[in-house]
Amino acid sequence: MLIKSRPSWFLSENDATPESIYKQRRDIVKKLGIAAAAVPFASQTHAGLFDVFSSSNDKVTEQDSRMALEGASSEFSTKGLALTPENKVLTYNNFYEFGTGKGEPAEQAKNFKTTPWTIEITGEVAKPVTLDIADVMKNMEIEERIYRHRCVEAWSMNVPWLGFPLASLLHLVQPTSKAKYVAFETLYDPDQMPGQRGFSSIDYPYVEGLTIAEAMNPLTLMTVGLYGKTLAPQNGAPLRLIVPWKYGFKGIKSIVKIHLLEKQPPTTWNLLAPDEYGFYANVNPNVDHPRWSQASERFIGEGSVFSSVRQETLMFNGYGEQVASLYKNLDLKRNY
């Protein structure tokens, strides 16, 4: 008899949220007849200020036009999490291209066009390519992963993302031995993104980066949806990065370019305030932000975002078992 041992991060849907809620959502998806195909693919202002002075009314300000999207249950979902309600995920977020207040992105991004959309992958690769997002969505095997999401502003959420491993995408282009880092770039379109015209402290387009080892880690997710639907514009549609052991600003949104290179790339917040936002940005309760403690966080669940439960911050956001070895010889206080 074969006995399968599940990893520590495994979480079934029934463990994460009431069965009735998930069943209702999946019934709707099935009735719509939409599912992802599982086919292998051949400083003026810094983060934190707006957490104090802005608010969200927890209402989606537009009719939800996102497409239903179903993904296979993943063994990489995190164990024992109560989910943040979908309306909070949609209305309480940072996306400065669409405004600096928590509720602004949902309002400012409602007419954002995500089709057509292409992703260019270049640099230290054997097979550079430009992919259409529709082909990516059709041919990648989509998984649903429930991850902790920790903002550098010391608030957190638990989100059921839909996506595929970044490693799957990078394998297509065959990184060379010189590929030590992976750089990402957000769309630059001031006509659609008013924040790119008004928030002058940031030199747009927004850029981010990972080491190649971080990019290839099984937890690193290219995300195309959440809560059983494609991503909303304010959440980074149509494609964003999720690295669950790092602060949320590493999760670059609306990606159009991926570039593999030999040297460490510049990143937006590190350029803007290097004493506050490092390249690595690993969640670390022992390293405070210069202006606030990182030892605890407000978990945004049911009720008002300002009356959320305070909880202890976990090293690597609770994913140390899977990622601590990446930083074995790195001073995490100097390399924050």
Cite the annotated binding site for Mo-molybdopterin by residue number: 93, 96-97, 151, 186, 235, 240, 251-253
Residue 104, classed as helix, strand or coil, is helix
The CA-to-CA distance between both ends of the chain, in Å, stands at: 47
Beta bridge partners, 298, equal 155, 310
Alpha helices in 194-316 (DSSP H): 195-198, 212-216, 268-272
Residues 154, 94: contact at Cβ < 8 Å?
Answer: no
Please name the residue that has the structure tokens 């070895």.
Answer: 325
Q: ω before 233 within 30° of 0 (cis)?
A: no
Q: Which residues are annotated as a binding site?
A: 93, 96-97, 151, 186, 235, 240, 251-253
Burial of residue 261 (number of CB atoms within 10 Å: 0-12, 13-18, 19+): middle
d(CA 229, CA 70): 7
**In this structure, are strands 240-242 and 221-226 parallel, antiparallel, or unpaired?**
antiparallel
Q: If phi over 0 gives left and psi between -120 and 50 gives alpha, with beta otherwise, what is residue 115?
A: beta
Residues 103, 57: contact at Cβ < 8 Å?
Answer: yes
State the amino acid at position 149 in one-letter form. H
Q: Which residues contact 149 (CB under 8 A, 6 or more apart)?
A: 84, 156, 157, 158, 159, 242, 244, 248, 251
d(CA 102, CA 52): 10
Q: What's the token pair of residue 195?
A: 């924040």
